[in-house]
Structure 1
Amino acid sequence: MNIGVFSGSFNPVHIGHLALANYLCEYEGLDEVWFMVTPHNPLKEETSLMDDEFRLKLVRLAIAGYPKFRASDFEFHLSRPSYTVHTLDKLKQNYPQDTFHLIIGSDNWALFSHWYQSERILAENFILVYPRPGYAVDGEALPRNVKLSSSPTFEISSTFIRRAMEEGRDVRYFLHPAVYEALKQAGVETGSIPGIRQGRV
């Protein structure tokens, strides 16, 4: 199968993530998209990052019922800090029958040369770049194993959603209904989401 590796904090997962992944499955030839929830890096102080398992739970709630999506805790079991090159190596080792495509935004593509072992990632893997406003990509100039998606742009921020809910705003239409209810039940309005310490949001 052709599998898209959509790695991120998903803090929380929102409709922008889901709509993009849906498009990539339906229009870009991916059989599945794996939402690769990135674990908290113990070397970094991150007060706004929800608990790893809670973020994974939210992804599972969001993708339930759509057979082309999978929630993955794969990186939870790798050495930290987690590097994309190591994740891709391990995925290919564990699932040799599948072909993996790294999904990144054009903003990250602009910085790709700064990624850890970026040259090896580029030489050994397929990359699918989706558009982000302000980061144009010349599709004709891309390496042969890098494809520019024609997906719509989705400008929704997880930070915006957390802040809005903590301010008591109703942003249910930015989230899958099950995710919205889980966040409310977890106490997002009072800043008591699992794993978040009082401080920067």
Structure 2
Amino acid sequence: MTGRVDPVLDAFAAIPREGFLPPVERGYAGFDEPLSIGHGQTNSQPRTVADMLHLLQVAPGHKVLDVGSGSGWTTALLAHLTGPEGSVVGVELEPSLVRFGRRNLAATDQPWARIEKAKPGVLGWPRQAAYDRILVSAEAEALPSELMDQLAAPSRMVIPVAGRMTLAERSATGEARLSTHGWYRFVPLR
């Protein structure tokens, strides 16, 4: 019997975390813990990223939004999952992290993915909505309606809300269903 390939684990193997960390943190890339990327932000714990990506269920050809792209690692992982027939836009508020993330992402040679500077007061990247998948790597106090409005039908969004990993699913008819999947800690969504 042939084992099934896990696309998330395949993405992790193809896009090593080390290339998305500041030089001082690279020696810790294999540790399953969040690592500082500066500006009070972290490169998330690999197990947490894997959990989020498994919930998100990204498939080749999907149009994906990555909110809080940080060092660009999740954007690159998502791009690997969508393949060149898909597209990924990462958004990040901190200008120096936008530059850092763009350099890191460029090294992966996945031109169907990019990182944009988030607009203050605007959540997500509404100008190119609707998205098949939205990944949010920062904690919201409540489920943001602005991001729900950027979801296609059908679609999925994974976002930490008040400490709980939340999966928001929109059906083909537009109905929303929410479920929670454990407790996690993230930097606040701003």
**Same fold at TM > 0.5:** no
- Higher strand fraction: Structure 1 or Structure 2? 2
Q: 1 or 2 for the larger relative contact order (CA 8 Å, sep ≥6)?
A: 1
Structure label with greater radius of gyration: 1
Query: How does the TM-score come out when normalised to structure 2?
Result: 0.37
Give TM-score, length-normalised by structure 1.
0.36
Report the structure, 1 or 2, having the larger helix content: 1
